[in-house]
Chains A and B, each alone.
Chain A
Amino acid sequence: GAGVSQSPSNKVTEKGKDVELRCDPISGHTALYWYRQSLGQGLEFLIYFQGNSAPDKSGLPSDRFSAERTGGSVSTLTIQRTQQEDSAVYLCASSLATGDEQYFGPGTRLTVT
């Protein structure tokens, strides 16, 4: 079946604009994760959804970041009033359940100019 998909693959935006990043997880996966990775760095956990439970937002770096997951499937990560330090690759992953093997999408490379 299809893997995790993300769109867009690349996004260039001006400082101060809002952006929306989309993630389509593998069908049937109850857990969905968002990460951020800056050049040459490890993955920074942002937010995690498990089924219909309220998401764990503890990793979000500021209140400019928000995410939602509609119908337990597609997720959107929104960054408001983007800053240059938001430039990074944003990775989405899904797994059958919490703690299971994660399947990653190809990522969205965000560049804030």
Chain B
Amino acid sequence: SQQGEEDPQALSIQEGENATMNCSYKTSINNLQWYRQNSGRGLVHLILIRSNEREKHSGRLRVTLDTSKKSSSLLITASRAADTASYFCATDARSGGSYIPTFGRGTSLIVHP
């Protein structure tokens, strides 16, 4: 089963609106990261939040982390058509001492101009 699960699977909004995506995970983590992917190719790192942080900002992005609920959210404010992409959360799950970087299935965001 997936360590990280994004919700919703798909999101369609108008330009200028805010977009919120959520990520839930199962095991304890050291950090959680959000990535963006265009056109099914390489991912681009957006933001990393550590387990002792609750909120982090980067430009129009705001990420929150609630370790008690094992969940994170990514908020994109004042969305633009160029924000259309898939967004993934990734956790640094540990399994038996091994490090397993685990990505969710992603949220597909469409921003209509």
Contacts and interface: CB of A to CB of B under 8 A. Distances in A.
A93 B104 CA distance: 16
B30 interface: yes
Given A59-B100, A104-B43, A43 B33 contact: no
Contact of B106 (A42, A50, A93, A102): A42
Question: For chain A, which range describes its interface: under 10, 10 to 19, 20 to 34, or 35 or more residues?
Answer: 20 to 34
Contacts of B61: none
Interface of chain B, helix or strand or loop or mixed? strand
A103 B44 CA distance: 7
Nearest to A57: B98
B90 to A, nearest CB: 8
B33 A101 contact: yes
- The size bracket of the interface on B is 20 to 34
Given A42-B88, A42-B105, A99-B31, A56 B100 contact: yes
Interface in B96-113: 98-106
B101 A106 contact: no
B40 A58 contact: no
A50 B92 CA distance: 14
Interface string B79-104: 00000000010101001001111111
Contacts of B35: 102, 104
B43 to A, nearest CB: 5
25 contacts: A4-B42, A42-B88, A42-B104, A42-B106, A43-B43, A43-B103, A45-B102, A45-B103, A50-B99, A56-B98, A56-B99, A58-B95, A58-B98, A89-B41, A91-B42, A91-B43, A98-B99, A99-B30, A99-B92, A102-B35, A102-B101, A103-B45, A104-B35, A104-B42, A107-B40
Interchain residue pairs A-B with the least CB separation, the first 3: A42-B105, A104-B42, A43-B103
Interface of A: 4, 33, 35, 37, 39, 41-43, 45, 48, 50, 56, 58-59, 89, 91, 93, 98-107
